[in-house]
Structure 1
Amino acid sequence: MLKKMKKQKKKLAILVLLAAVLLGIAAEWMQKQESHFKENCLIRNEPGEGDYQESLNYIEEDSGEKGQIVLNLQERTLTAAEWKEILPEAEKEAEEVFRNGQQADHVSGQVVLCERVKNGLISVEWKLEPDIWIDLQGNIEEENLLPGQVVNATAILSNGKNQAEYSFPICLYPSENQNETNLGKKIEQYLYNQNAEEKEVELPQNMDGVALRWEEETEKPLVIFLFLGIFAAVVILWSGKKEQQDAKKRWEEELVKDYPEMVSRLGLLLEAGMSLRQAWKKLTDTYESKRKEQRLPKRAGYEEMLLTRRELEDGMGESLAYERFGERCGLASYRRFASILTQNLKKGTVGIGRILAKESEDAFSQRKTMAQRLGEEAGTKLLFPMLMMMVVIMVILVVPACMTMHI
């Protein structure tokens, strides 16, 4: 098992080293591809990509002295031909964004005063005439607004070097929920005008001819707690079932571990001339004595033997007691063991030692197989932490590379 784990760690180390080399090569290649420095020249970013800083080293050829400088290089500006080509699309985009998905002859609620269009390539400033119906956030002032109110919107488009104005009219209308908004404002004003010294404030039953009925808006805690209770009950039941399954698995593993020793010792006592009942009692007495002296932990196989001994002391027949022992343990090996014991009672003890010795050898082989399986399971459980370590190492390698390439 240890050799296998060492091999896995060596493989993982080799993979990590190989990945680091490949990532380093890829990062260096990408850095060269992304570099703005080309043979004593700096390449500007395209319009809209923004300015950038470039750190360069220089060498004075006469003295050989070295230095470092950080240069700020502005993005490339649009040429006159490019500006002329992109301007109609920018004007159309500015108007569509401004109208916020509405038609020009019916705009309500809010408009969008965008600051840039064409993916940030062109900046936009807005001029409205008249400017009393739309605030700086684009909200339409609906108080005293007449349906169909015309507003001329002018977008001033610029990219620093070139500038153009684009105007278009829109018709403003009150939003459909204006009445609801006005009613809410009137109710708030009503409450504000009430006497603040009074503990209770009576809510209006009628406002501008509209009959009102009041209800408290609650979060319905009963439903929330009922849902949480159901969820907690499901989790508890699931966890209880999981614990039972884990406990049963551990119990069966302990039975498998105890079986070879138990069969071997019982066979030796029978070969020494003891009867089956005497040998059974001798084994359980020894186990019980060591348990009292705290020299031995609780072991599943011997606990089942102890229960069978008590059944025998209570008057149960030997054959039935051994059969019940095999059924309680549930494993095929214990059922086979119980069958051997019951046959021994019927046919006598001739050859029982040899049979139990053979059974003990088979049991030791099964225990060895189980130990190998548990070792493989342990190696599999270690695989996830090792993968997590690999991910951490990859991050440690990739992040500096990405920072170097300004990604």
Structure 2
Amino acid sequence: MKKLCIAGLIVVEGLSVGLWLRERAVPETEVTAIERNLPGEGSSEVDLEVHTSLGAMPFHLDVGERAYSAEELETVFAQGKAWLDSVWLGENASPEKVTEDLYFPDKIENTGIAVRWIPENSRWVQYDGGITEEARSEAPAKTRVRAVLKYGTEERGYDYELTIEKPELEGGALLRQSIQADVLRHQAENPSDETFLLPASVGEETLTWYVPKKSDGLKVFVFGNLLVVLFYLSYEDRKFQKNRQRERELAADYPDIVYRMILLVSSGMTVRGAWEKMVQDYCRWRHSTGKRRWGYEEMENGLWEMNYGVPELTVYENFGSRCGTRGYIRFAALLIQQVRRGARGMNEILAREVGEAEVARRENGRKATEESASRLLFPMLLLMMVVFAVLMIPAFLSMHF
């Protein structure tokens, strides 16, 4: 990479020196005149260097476009008028029958000529060429507009006459308008009747009236499915949160369960006797406090299995499987080994297990603290914004600009 950077610097420096030498070798070109832009192209900017007795100095010029001569201007005005004649009607076919909006351009491209439109009646024709609803309601309406072409101080005006007509309706739109007119006529003829008789026909068209059906099937389908999906997602989320809470509580109970098991087995009790003693103590604690602990709840389930005749070793194996964590599975395996072999050194193994469980519990507590801190971050940001607004808004309001 270092070699590539050095090679790049060498290439850039070489090109820079070469371009500088070429510029120095080319003689300066003397300029006596600057060509103007054509009319309508606008002014041009030119950077020059002027040499005087005091030396060379940079000079920036803004050269205006070329103006039309008198003969050229008349020709350009005539061409502009011909172009307006071809476009001002927009989508209308004839000025005697105007049903759509007109097209009023504000300039003629590539000529420098500006166009200003002056309607005779702005309530009918707007300055941008739009036809108003008032004009359509009063159709046929005759009016005129004036186009003023301007270049510099020169102006030319041209008048256009037009007749505004109602848009022609076809098919369903025409039939709807006819039905609407017939309904209004029926209402006006019998204003005092207790009931209003709907027209049975319009011209040659037979009319049959119905109350439209209100179909809520699509709404029920969409919102019902959406609610089902949301309910399922909410259920899964609650289930997930419940499982996480159970895992956290199992991890919190684990050191206490192992430690008490060591004490009871070391005092001479069998594993089953220690198990029953721990469950009995937990039941009394639960009855007095009304609280539950998942680890001891699973031990109580195991005691029920023993009382119903499930083999002791199977109960310990099921206990580890139900708890599901690596610590409980290892603890269940140690209990099975203790029952089968009465292995020596089991207390030391369980003691080490307690130490590891304590370390894991502290680590879980640290993670829970970090998660709580991250959840509090957004409310803290909102509170900071509120405090900032309380401090800064009065300061800005008190400032005089």
Give the TM-score band, short-chain normalised: 0.5 to 0.7
Give me the whole-angstrom Cα distance separating, in 2, the residues matched to 1:196 and 1:171.
37
Aligned to 1:151: 143
Give the AA of the match of 1:375: T
Give the AA of the match of 2:234: S
Aligned to 1:128: 121
Give me the whole-angstrom Cα distance separating, in 1, the residues matched to 2:123 and 2:260.
105
1:332-379 superposed Cα distances (whole Å, 9 cap, x missing partner):
111111111111121115222111111111001000000111111111
User: Which SS does the other structure have where 1:128 is aligned?
Assistant: coil
Give me the whole-angstrom Cα distance separating, in 2, the residues matched to 1:324 and 1:153.
96
Give me the whole-angstrom Cα distance separating, in 2, the residues matched to 1:167 and 1:405.
54
Report the CA distance between 1:102 and its aligned residue. 4.7
The correspondence for 2:287, drawn from 277, 283, 292, is: 292
Equivalent runs, 1:92-111 vs 2, <5 Å:
102=91, 105=94
Report the CA distance between 1:128 and its aligned residue. 2.4
Question: Is this contact kept in 1: 2:338–2:346, CA < 8 A?
Answer: yes
- Larger RCO (CA under 8 A, 6+ residues apart): 1
Report the CA distance between 1:212 and its aligned residue. 2.9
Aligned to 2:303: 309
Report the CA distance between 1:253 and its aligned residue. 0.7
1:206-241 superposed Cα distances (whole Å, 9 cap, x missing partner):
212233343444552232233222222222121111
| Bigger radius of gyration | 2
Aligned to 1:274: 269
C-alpha RMSD of the superposition: 4.6
The correspondence for 1:223, drawn from 211, 218, 223, is: 218
- Asked if 1:354 is matched to 2:345, the reply is no
Question: Is this contact kept in 2: 1:267–1:356, CA < 8 A?
Answer: yes
Aligned residues: 302
Give the AA of the match of 1:152: R
Question: Is this contact kept in 1: 2:255–2:354, CA < 8 A?
Answer: yes
The correspondence for 1:384, drawn from 358, 378, 381, is: 378
- Asked if 1:209 is matched to 2:204, the reply is yes
Give me the whole-angstrom Cα distance separating, in 1, the residues matched to 2:187 and 2:303.
87
Question: Is this contact kept in 1: 2:306–2:312, CA < 8 A?
Answer: yes
Give me the whole-angstrom Cα distance separating, in 1, the residues matched to 2:370 and 2:219.
45
1:123-177 superposed Cα distances (whole Å, 9 cap, x missing partner):
9985329969x999554325663xxx75313589xxxxxxx98854445343243
Give me the whole-angstrom Cα distance separating, in 1, the residues matched to 2:337 and 2:94.
102
Instruction: Report the TM-score, using the length of structure 1 for normalisation.
Output: 0.61
Deviates more, 1:170-179 or 1:349-358: 170-179
Give the AA of the match of 2:121: L
Question: Is this contact kept in 1: 2:92–2:99, CA < 8 A?
Answer: no
Q: 1:130 to 1:299 in 2, by over 3 A?
A: closer
Give the AA of the match of 1:356: L
- Asked if 1:255 is matched to 2:250, the reply is yes
Give me the whole-angstrom Cα distance separating, in 2, the residues matched to 1:319 and 1:100.
99
Give me the whole-angstrom Cα distance separating, in 2, the residues matched to 1:307 and 1:166.
102
Q: 1:224 to 1:337 in 2, by over 3 A?
A: same
The correspondence for 1:264, drawn from 253, 259, 274, is: 259
Q: 1:394 to 1:176 in 2, by over 3 A?
A: farther
Q: 1:316 to 1:142 in 2, by over 3 A?
A: same
User: Which SS does the other structure have where 2:339 is aligned?
Assistant: helix
Report the CA distance between 1:203 and its aligned residue. 2.5
Q: 1:184 to 1:125 in 2, by over 3 A?
A: farther
1:45-90 superposed Cα distances (whole Å, 9 cap, x missing partner):
xxxxxxxxxxxxxxxxxxxxxxxxxxxxxxxxxxxxxxxxxxx9xx
Report sequence identity in percent.
25
The correspondence for 1:327, drawn from 321, 330, 350, is: 321
